[in-house]
A and B are shown apart, each in its own frame.
Chain A
Amino acid sequence: MTARASRREHHPVKFTLLLVVSIALFLPFAALAIKGLTPGSELANNSWFPTNWRWQNIPDALNQIPYVRFAAISTFIAVVYSGLTMISSALVGYGFARLRGPGKRALFAVLIAMMIVPQIVTLIPTYLLFSQFGLIGTYWPWVLWGTAGAPYAIFLYRQFYASFPKELEEAARLDGAGRLRTFFSIFIPLSRPLMVTSFVISFNATWGDYVAPTLFLNADNTTLAAGIATGYYNSHGILLPNLLAAGSFIYILPVVVLFLFAQRSYVRGFVSSGIK
């Protein structure tokens, strides 16, 4: 019993350092919450906390822009993209890990190279192209991106699937299962932690993406990321810091909550993919 206790209290210096770093990194969240509940009349006051907490800021922030509609669009796009990319990345990862084909090595090298190709840099050319095909203002780009899978996720799935023994498929083959059925009935259920990791990463990326919605969607039918970035100004173009703070706080909540809930699987997904 003393062994456990002493082992836990062995690092007072590291504990203190971690505490300091954590407080420093957490303070902006606290400042945001306080600012979000400060009435406009007290913004310029030189005090740490408002004398009157103004909860009305929250409904005001939600009404300043079409918040709920933007949030619905963000959710829709993020879920569609993340769901599609989760499945198709697993499929492709399975192909690279368990199947043979001519040119596989070269294609895997291409996949790795694709992780390096800068995304924003391809986004503007994609915009030029999609505008020629009338895809601007639609959600099709996210369907296409999702179907194509994400290189980093494919890589993680491939590493994960490569670690299983060959007998796994042979047993399924003897039972007369085809490749697709083997994949869906054996490999997919095994990869749940990794699927959570991949879903969380893609969801966060899409929910937080500002550039693609700004380029590919119309300003009145866009995502929350694009909406809050430009919406919190009054008619004279002056920033409304308290409403922006309230709006931003609510905007980051889903991402934070999703991470807190999925944290365990998320961490396990990285570990299980055999990052070495």
Chain B
Amino acid sequence: MTTLTGIRRRSIRRARQRDGLAFYGFISPWLLGTAILTVFPLGYALYVSFTAWDGISPYKPWVGLANYAEVLTSPDTWSALSKTLLVVVIVVPATIIGSLVLAIWLNEKVRGRVVFRTIIFLPAIVPAVAAALIWKVIFDKDSGSVNRILATFGIHPVSWVTGDNAFITLLVVMLWGIGAGIIIYLAALQTVDVEQLEAAKVDGAGPLTTFRHVTLPAISPILLFQTVLTLITTLQVFIPALLLAPVGVTQTVSSVPVANRLYMVDVWSQFFQYSRYGYGSAMIIVFVIVILILTAVVFRVGGRSVYYAVDPDQREDRR
């Protein structure tokens, strides 16, 4: 009896071990990859951030927290951060709400919806490099279409990639991809319970009420997921800012107008213009922390409304 259970226990344990081995075997590419390609580099950047390394010399003079002190007290940091946040505040809601509204329209049986869906999603799959270059051509002072349209109203050619105008151009480039979320929202809208929609209609609810109480709760998790992703990618935007600059020479960020000096543009210039690898690394670490805090806030705020809307029992209690 005891030996039997002993044998069984041992064989269960052995089976578990085999399961565990298989699990780790299957996930090993990702596990090793993350360790080597994400965790280790970030750790290395953390180390470099405590030094005044110039990127070339074999010595990395230790400076302790001096880089961090400079990052936090430099007016450049705060100006770059506030510009980045301004982009986020404009682009993220516009993209999330714009995509959602377009997806809701496309979800109806409108004529030509497949063609509309394709055209609206198309700018979103155009790589950021190409988007920036396309708009650079369109906003070109001498030959661009925008100034041509303005000329018909008698307005003299405007320089769109310098001064404060550059920020408007940057926003246009980013808002071109306003349909980026439609595919995923259309997929999410398919999962909304048809019976609930019918029930709402029977109860005499208008389209807005139905949307708020049936559709929105059902798609709120995917909405939160999209918001977080869009927030993170928008925070890191810098390619359009870099490539819209009047002179498009690689790794020369000096031609980026002040209005477009986003946080990552600043980071890029610290590394590749000023060779301040230690300071640049400190900027990166600070930015990671900023991004984590903002993401946590969105999850906190958004997560609560997702739960609130999704859980039917919760609502029953409230009534």
Which A residues form the contact surface with B (CB < 8 A)?
7-11, 14-15, 17-19, 21-22, 25-26, 28-29, 31-32, 35, 38, 43-44, 46, 48, 88-89, 91-92, 94-96, 99-102, 104, 107, 110-111, 114-122, 124-126, 128-129, 144-145, 147-149, 151, 154, 179, 183, 204, 207-211, 214, 219, 225-226, 228-230, 233, 237, 239, 241-242, 244-245, 248, 251-252, 255-256, 259-260, 263, 266-267, 270-271, 275-276
Task: Kindly provide the distance from the CB of B133 to the nearest chain A CB, expressed in whole angstroms.
Answer: 5
Q: Is B197 an interface residue (CB 8 A)?
A: no
Please indicate the chain B residues that have their CB under 8 angstroms from the CB of A26 in the complex: 119, 122
Q: Which residue of A46, A225, A233, A275 contacts B129 across the interface (Cβ within 8 Å)? A: A225
Query: Across the interface, do A121 and B133 meet the contact criterion of CB distance under 8 Å?
Result: no
| CB-contacts of B2-43 with A (<8 A) | 16, 19-27, 29-34, 36-38, 40-42
Task: Kindly provide the distance from the CB of B237 to the nearest chain A CB, expressed in whole angstroms.
Answer: 9
B 125-147 binary contact with A (CB < 8 Å = 1; else 0) = 11111101111111010111100
Q: Which residue of B23, B186, B280 contacts A101 across the interface (Cβ within 8 Å)? A: B23
Query: Across the interface, do A208 and B129 meet the contact criterion of CB distance under 8 Å?
Result: yes
Q: Which one of B64-72, B187-195, B198-206, B311-319 contacts A?
A: B187-195
Query: Across the interface, do B187 and A270 meet the contact criterion of CB distance under 8 Å?
Result: yes
Q: Which residue of A100, A149, A239 contacts B16 across the interface (Cβ within 8 Å)? A: A100
Please indicate the chain B residues that have their CB under 8 angstroms from the CB of A207 in the complex: 127
Query: Across the interface, do B142 and A44 meet the contact criterion of CB distance under 8 Å?
Result: yes
Query: Across the interface, do A204 and B127 meet the contact criterion of CB distance under 8 Å?
Result: yes
Tell me the bound Cα distance from A100 to B281 in angstroms: 38
Q: Which residue of B45, B123, B222 contacts A124 across the interface (Cβ within 8 Å)? A: B45
Please indicate the chain B residues that have their CB under 8 angstroms from the CB of A17 in the complex: 105
Given A125-B42, A128-B44, A120 and B264 touching (CB < 8 A)? yes
Please indicate the chain B residues that have their CB under 8 angstroms from the CB of A211 in the complex: 239
Q: Which residue of B23, B183, B295 contacts A95 across the interface (Cβ within 8 Å)? A: B23
Please indicate the chain B residues that have their CB under 8 angstroms from the CB of A242 in the complex: 143
Query: Across the interface, do B138 and A28 meet the contact criterion of CB distance under 8 Å?
Result: yes
Query: Across the interface, do A48 and B239 meet the contact criterion of CB distance under 8 Å?
Result: no
Task: Kindly provide the distance from the CB of B72 to the nearest chain A CB, expressed in whole angstroms.
Answer: 18
Query: Across the interface, do B42 and A122 meet the contact criterion of CB distance under 8 Å?
Result: yes
Query: Across the interface, do A248 and B291 meet the contact criterion of CB distance under 8 Å?
Result: no
Given A10-B109, A22-B116, A270-B184, A46 and B26 touching (CB < 8 A)? no
Q: Is B96 an interface residue (CB 8 A)?
A: no
Query: Across the interface, do A214 and B251 meet the contact criterion of CB distance under 8 Å?
Result: yes
Task: Kindly provide the distance from the CB of A54 to the nearest chain B CB, expressed in whole angstroms.
Answer: 14
Q: Is B254 an interface residue (CB 8 A)?
A: no
Given A48-B148, A211-B239, A15 and B112 touching (CB < 8 A)? yes
B 229-246 binary contact with A (CB < 8 Å = 1; else 0) = 100100110110001000
Which B residues form the contact surface with A (CB < 8 A)?
16, 19-27, 29-34, 36-38, 40-42, 44-45, 48, 55, 102, 105-106, 108-113, 115-116, 118-123, 125-130, 132-138, 140, 142-145, 148, 151, 176, 178-179, 183-184, 186-188, 190-191, 221-222, 228-229, 232, 235-236, 238-239, 243, 247-251, 264, 267, 271, 277, 280-281, 284, 287-288, 291-292, 295
Task: Kindly provide the distance from the CB of A205 to the nearest chain B CB, expressed in whole angstroms.
Answer: 8
Please indicate the chain A residues that have their CB under 8 angstroms from the CB of B110 in the complex: 8, 11, 14-15, 18
Q: Which residue of A10, A15, A266, A275 contacts B191 across the interface (Cβ within 8 Å)? A: A275
Q: Which residue of B38, B120, B178 contacts A122 across the interface (Cβ within 8 Å)? A: B38
Query: Across the interface, do A125 and B284 meet the contact criterion of CB distance under 8 Å?
Result: yes
Query: Across the interface, do A92 and B30 meet the contact criterion of CB distance under 8 Å?
Result: yes
A interface: dominant SS: helix
Query: Across the interface, do A8 and B129 meet the contact criterion of CB distance under 8 Å?
Result: no
Task: Kindly provide the distance from the CB of B132 to the nearest chain A CB, expressed in whole angstroms.
Answer: 8
Query: Across the interface, do A43 and B142 meet the contact criterion of CB distance under 8 Å?
Result: yes
Q: Which residue of B116, B123, B288 contacts A121 across the interface (Cβ within 8 Å)? A: B288
**Given A21-B102, A101-B22, 4 additional A-B pairs, CB 8 A:** A43-B143, A148-B37, A237-B249, A252-B126
A-B contact pairs, 14 of them (CB 8 A): A15-B110, A25-B176, A25-B178, A31-B137, A91-B27, A96-B27, A122-B38, A122-B41, A126-B37, A149-B29, A208-B128, A208-B129, A241-B144, A263-B118
Tell me the bound Cα distance from A44 to B235 in angstroms: 37
Please indicate the chain B residues that have their CB under 8 angstroms from the CB of A15 in the complex: 110-112
Tell me the bound Cα distance from A125 to B36 in angstroms: 11
Given A111-B30, A118-B236, A239 and B42 touching (CB < 8 A)? no
Query: Across the interface, do B30 and A154 meet the contact criterion of CB distance under 8 Å?
Result: yes
Tell me the bound Cα distance from A89 to B37 in angstroms: 15
Q: Which residue of A28, A99, A219 contacts B23 across the interface (Cβ within 8 Å)? A: A99
Task: Kindly provide the distance from the CB of B175 to the nearest chain A CB, expressed in whole angstroms.
Answer: 10
Tell me the bound Cα distance from A17 to B110 in angstroms: 11
Name the CB-closest residue of B to A268. Answer: B187
Tell me the bound Cα distance from A215 to B239 in angstroms: 13
Tell me the bound Cα distance from A58 to B12 in angstroms: 68
Query: Across the interface, do B295 and A110 meet the contact criterion of CB distance under 8 Å?
Result: no
Tell me the bound Cα distance from A248 to B118 in angstroms: 20
